[in-house]
C-alpha cells in the first residue's frame, strides 16, 4: 500500500477511535471542552482589555501563568525518569510505558508554550521570537534558549513517539537507528530544558531569592518527583479501562524513583532554608515572606506550609515499600506530591521572588478569576491533547489499531483479545 493511502487509513482510523468512546470518555472530553471555551472567552477579554485583568502589576510582574509554565516544564522533563531505566538500563517492564511518558512530555510542552503565549503583552508579536523571521536574542537571553530547547525537545519527543506508534500501526518495528539516538538525546535534553528554565530565574542578580546556585538542581529534583505522578494515575486508569497490561513492578519502581527525587528536593529546600535563616541577611525577607509572612502580609503562608506538609507526606508514602505497594496510599502519595510541588514550584517560586520588590514595595499577588479561567483552559487543552493521543496510542500499543485490520474494515470492538 502506498504511503499516502497508509496515512489516510491512519487518519480515518484515528478519527474513528477518537469519536467513539464510553460515557466516561465523552463526559471527560466534554468537561475539558467546557473549560477550554471558558478559557478562550477569558483570554479574549484579556487580549482586548490588556493584562490589567490579571492581578499582576509592576511590583509583581510575573504570576500565575509563569508559575504554571515553570511547573509544566518540570512535568515535561520528567518523562526522562521513565526513559533512563527503560533504555539505559534496558529494564523491560518499563519499556512498554515509555511511549506514554513521551506523550505526556508532548502535552506538557504544548501547555508550557500556551502559558507563555497568554502571559506576553503583545501576542500578535509572538513571531518576533522566531529566528530569521524575527530576532531571537540567542545566546544572551535565557528566554531565547528556553524557546529553542523547548521546541527542540517537543520535536524530538513528538518525532519519536509518532514514529514508534505509526510503525506499530503499519505492523513494522520502529527503526532502532533513528529512535534510540533520539531517545538517548532526550535524556540530556530533559535535564537541559529544566536547567535552562532554572537559569532563567537564576541569572537575575536583581532577585536574591532566585539568584542562588541551588535553583537548577532543585528544579530537576522537584520535576522528577512530581512529573511521573500523572503517569502513575494514567497507568492505573489504562489498566482499568483498556486491555492494557503493565507489571506492578514498573509502577512501584517509578514510585521508588520519585521517592528518591523527593528526598533530594526536600534536602535542597532544607539547605536553602538553612542558608537564609542562619546567615540572616536582608535577603531573608523573601523566604520569610513565603513561610512566615511580613507583618500583615501573610497571603502565601498557608500555601507554603501546605506544600511542605504535602511533600513530606508524599515522601513518607513513597519511601516505605508497603505504602508504595498499597494502591490507596500510592494514589494518595501521587496526589500529594503533585499538589505539593505544584504549589512550591509554581506560585512558591514566582511570588516570593518578586515580593518585596527590588525597592522594598510589598504588593500581595494572588490570581484573579480571569487568570484561573485561562489557566484551567490551558490545562484542559493539554489534557485533551493527551487524551486524544492516548485514544489512538493505546489501541496501537495493544495491537488493536493496525493497518491490516483497518484494511479489512473490522470494528475494533469485534477484535479478539490480543497479547501486547
Partner 1 sequence: MRKALPLALLMLGSALAGDDSAGRPAPPPAGEERLELPPPPFSEGIFPCSNCHAGMTVNRTRRALTEMHEDVQLRHDEQHRWCLDCHDAADRDWLHLASGERVSFEESYRLCGQCHGEKLRDWRAGVHGRRTGEWNGQKKYLLCAHCHNPHQPRFRPMAPEPAPRPPTRPSGAKAVRP
Partner 2 sequence: MTDRDQDGTSPSRREFVSCAAGAAAGFILTACGPKRLFEVPKERLQASLAELERQYRETYGTAVTVAGTPPIPGVQFAYALDISRCIGCRRCVYACVEENNQSRDPQVHWIRVYAMEKEKGVDFQHANPYYDPPQVPEEGHFYVPVQCQQCENPPCTKVCPVGATWKEKDGIVVIDYDWCIGCRYCMAACPYGARHFNWAEPTLPKAELNPNTHYLGNRPRPKGVVEKCTFCIQRTRVGRYPACVEACPVGARKFGNLLDPQSEIRYIIDHKRILVLKEDLNTVPKFFYFYAT
Q: Which residues bind partner 1 (CB under 8 A)?
A: 52-55, 57-59, 298-299, 363-366, 368, 370
For residue 127, the 8-state DSSP code is G
C-alpha distances in Å from residue 377, one per residue of 36, 111, 121, 150: 4, 10, 19, 21
In angstroms, the CA 79 to CA 72 distance is 12
Q: Find which of partner 1, partner 2, none residue 312 binds, CB within 5 to 8 Å per kind.
A: none
- Least Cβ distance, residue 52 to partner 2 (angstroms): 4
C-alpha distances in Å from residue 318, one per residue of 218, 229, 308, 336: 19, 11, 15, 11
Q: Among 20, 128, 298, 325, which residue interacts with partner 2 (rule: CB under 8 A)? A: 128
Count, residues near partner 2 per rule CB under 8 A: 46
Q: Among 93, 316, 339, 357, which residue interacts with partner 2 (rule: CB under 8 A)? A: 357
Q: Find which of partner 2, partner 1, none residue 143 binds, CB within 5 to 8 Å per kind.
A: partner 2
SS3 341: helix
Angle between helices 98-119 and 142-169 (to 10 degrees): 140
Q: Is residue 356 a contact residue for partner 2 (CB under 8 A)?
A: yes
Site for partner 2 in 263-302 (CB under 8 A): 282, 285
- Least Cβ distance, residue 299 to partner 2 (angstroms): 19
Instruction: Name which of 57 and 167 has its Cβ closer to partner 1.
Output: 57
Q: Find which of partner 1, partner 2, none residue 50 binds, CB within 5 to 8 Å per kind.
A: partner 2
Take residue 187 and report the three cell numbers written for it. Answer: 535524556
Q: Among 7, 28, 45, 57, which residue interacts with partner 2 (rule: CB under 8 A)? A: 57
| Selection from 303, 283, 414 nearest residue 355 by Cα | 283
Residues with Cβ within 8 Å of 376's Cβ and at least 6 positions away in sequence, in order, are 35, 38, 39
Q: Is residue 126 a contact residue for partner 2 (CB under 8 A)?
A: yes
In angstroms, the CA 392 to CA 243 distance is 14
Q: Find which of partner 1, partner 2, none residue 124 binds, CB within 5 to 8 Å per kind.
A: partner 2
Site for partner 2 in 36-55 (CB under 8 A): 49-52
Beta-sheet strands, E only, within 50-203: none
- Least Cβ distance, residue 212 to partner 2 (angstroms): 15
Q: Find which of partner 1, partner 2, none residue 140 binds, CB within 5 to 8 Å per kind.
A: partner 2
In angstroms, the CA 47 to CA 211 distance is 32
In angstroms, the CA 236 to CA 29 distance is 19
C-alpha distances in Å from residue 145, one per residue of 18, 81, 119, 138: 36, 23, 18, 6
Q: Is residue 206 a contact residue for partner 2 (CB under 8 A)?
A: yes
Q: Find which of partner 2, partner 1, none residue 370 binds, CB within 5 to 8 Å per kind.
A: partner 1
Q: Which parts of this chain interact with partner 2 (CB under 8 A)?
A: 49-52, 56-59, 61-62, 116, 119-122, 124-126, 128-129, 133-137, 140-144, 147, 200, 203-207, 282, 285, 354, 356-361
Amino acid at each position: 500500500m502506498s504511503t499516502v493511502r497508509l496515512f489516510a487509513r491512519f487518519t480515518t482510523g484515528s478519527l474513528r477511535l477518537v469519536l467513539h468512546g464510553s460515557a466516561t470518555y465523552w463526559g471527560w472530553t466534554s468537561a475539558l471542552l467546557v473549560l477550554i471555551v471558558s478559557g478562550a472567552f477569558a483570554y479574549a477579554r484579556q487580549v482586548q482589555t490588556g493584562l490589567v485583568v490579571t492581578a499582576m502589576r509592576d511590583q509583581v510582574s510575573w504570576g500565575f501563568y509563569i508559575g504554571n509554565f515553570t511547573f509544566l516544564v518540570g512535568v515535561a522533563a520528567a518523562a526522562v525518569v521513565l526513559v533512563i531505566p527503560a533504555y539505559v538500563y534496558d529494564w523491560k517492564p518499563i519499556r512498554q510505558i515509555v511511549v506514554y511518558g513521551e506523550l505526556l512530555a508532548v502535552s506538557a510542552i504544548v501547555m508550557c508554550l500556551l502559558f507563555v503565549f497568554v502571559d506576553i503583552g503583545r501576542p500578535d508579536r509572538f513571531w518576533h521570537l522566531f529566528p530569521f523571521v524575527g530576532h531571537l536574542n540567542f545566546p544572551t537571553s535565557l528566554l531565547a534558549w528556553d524557546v529553542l530547547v523547548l521546541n527542540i525537545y517537543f520535536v524530538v519527543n513528538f518525532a519519536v513517539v509518532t514514529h514508534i506508534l505509526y510503525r506499530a500501526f503499519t505492523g513494522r518495528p520502529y527503526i532502532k537507528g533513528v529512535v534510540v539516538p533520539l531517545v538517548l538525546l532526550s535524556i540530556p535534553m530533559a535535564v537541559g530544558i529544566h536547567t535552562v528554565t532554572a537559569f532563567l530565574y537564576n541569572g537575575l542578580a536583581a532577585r536574591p531569592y532566585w539568584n542562588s546556585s541551588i535553583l537548577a538542581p532543585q528544579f530537576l529534583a522537584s520535576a522528577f518527583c512530581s512529573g511521573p505522578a500523572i503517569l502513575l494515575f494514567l497507568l492505573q486508569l489504562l489498566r482499568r479501562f483498556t486491555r492494557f497490561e503493565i507489571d506492578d513492578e514498573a509502577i512501584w519502581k517509578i514510585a521508588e524513583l520519585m521517592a528518591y527525587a523527593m528526598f533530594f528536593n526536600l534536602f535542597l529546600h532544607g539547605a536553602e532554608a538553612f542558608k537564609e535563616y542562619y546567615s540572616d541577611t536582608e535577603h531573608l525577607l523573601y523566604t520569610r515572606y513565603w513561610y512566615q509572612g511580613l507583618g500583615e502580609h501573610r497571603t502565601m503562608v498557608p500555601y507554603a506550609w501546605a506544600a511542605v506538609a504535602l511533600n513530606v507526606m508524599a515522601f513518607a508514602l513513597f519511601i516505605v515499600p508497603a505504602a508504595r505497594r498499597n494502591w490507596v496510599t500510592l494514589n494518595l502519595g501521587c496526589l500529594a506530591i503533585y499538589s505539593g510541588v505544584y504549589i512550591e514550584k509554581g506560585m512558591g517560586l514566582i511570588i516570593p521572588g518578586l515580593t518585596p520588590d527590588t525597592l522594598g514595595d510589598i504588593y500581595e499577588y494572588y490570581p484573579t478569576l480571569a487568570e484561573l479561567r485561562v489557566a484551567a483552559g490551558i490545562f484542559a487543552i493539554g489534557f485533551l491533547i493527551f487524551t486524544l493521543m492516548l485514544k489512538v496510542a493505546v489501541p496501537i500499543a495493544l495491537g488493536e489499531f493496525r493497518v491490516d485490520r483497518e484494511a479489512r474494515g473490522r470494528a475494533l470492538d469485534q477484535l479478539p483479545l490480543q497479547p501486547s
